[in-house]
Structure 1
């Protein structure tokens, strides 16, 4: 059984912090550089595979809403698996949510990102 360890958000790997900063700034062209060419992103029941689909996700996910996001927590599962907890507030249904961004890293790049409540 794998157990995770809570960490300070600033202790997340540099690649994850770079992705989160670029994603928050809506800089998809910067964020895509943190992914492997064959990366997979799973969000809201949809899978985005490879550079073109992940870039489309980065450019369009949540674009119909105005919201703020705050990195409020982190977890280290093992050397390749990390979780960032993001608190969002905005004009989307429900208005407030805490999302878990579960990252898998390969060669210091994101090979998988699963976003879930």
Structure 2
């Protein structure tokens, strides 16, 4: 299924498929916030550390298969496969954008 994701989100998903940390990071605003199952990560340095440990190191590749909008929030869902217990796990991403950058990303399983 091909989804019409906004470009920063599509770029993030494409970089994730390559486990390209720099590519994923390019999609975030400098002051972005990422919430991962309730834990808060602020700014690029904290987000980079999280993505290195929880995405790249675990080879966690997310494939969105559902998309909807809730006002100014882009919500997309799908499975992530990788080297982690329970793989694959279905995740929901809730993203707000600031122009062509991800301002907030809230990830939950």
Runs of 4+ with >4 A deviation: none
Q: Comparing 63-72 with 94-103, which one deviates more in the overlay? A: 63-72
| Structure showing the higher strand proportion among its residues | 1
Larger Rg: 1
TM-score, reference length from structure 1? 0.79
User: Gapped runs of 5+ residues in structure 1?
Assistant: 1-7
State whether structure 2 residue 107 is matched by structure 1 residue 110.
no
CA shift for structure 1 position 45: 3.1
CA shift for structure 1 position 63: 4.6
Distance in 1, Cα, partners of 2:17 & 2:48: 14
State whether structure 2 residue 68 is matched by structure 1 residue 72.
no
Distance in 1, Cα, partners of 2:33 & 2:44: 9
User: Gapped runs of 5+ residues in structure 2?
Assistant: none
CA shift for structure 1 position 84: 1.6
Structure 1 pair 9–75 and aligned structure 2 pair: CA distance change class (3 A): farther
Q: What's the RMSD between the two structures over aligned residues?
A: 2.0
CA shift for structure 1 position 18: 0.3
Secondary structure at the residue paired with 2:103? strand
State whether structure 2 residue 67 is matched by structure 1 residue 49.
no
TM-score, reference length from structure 2? 0.84
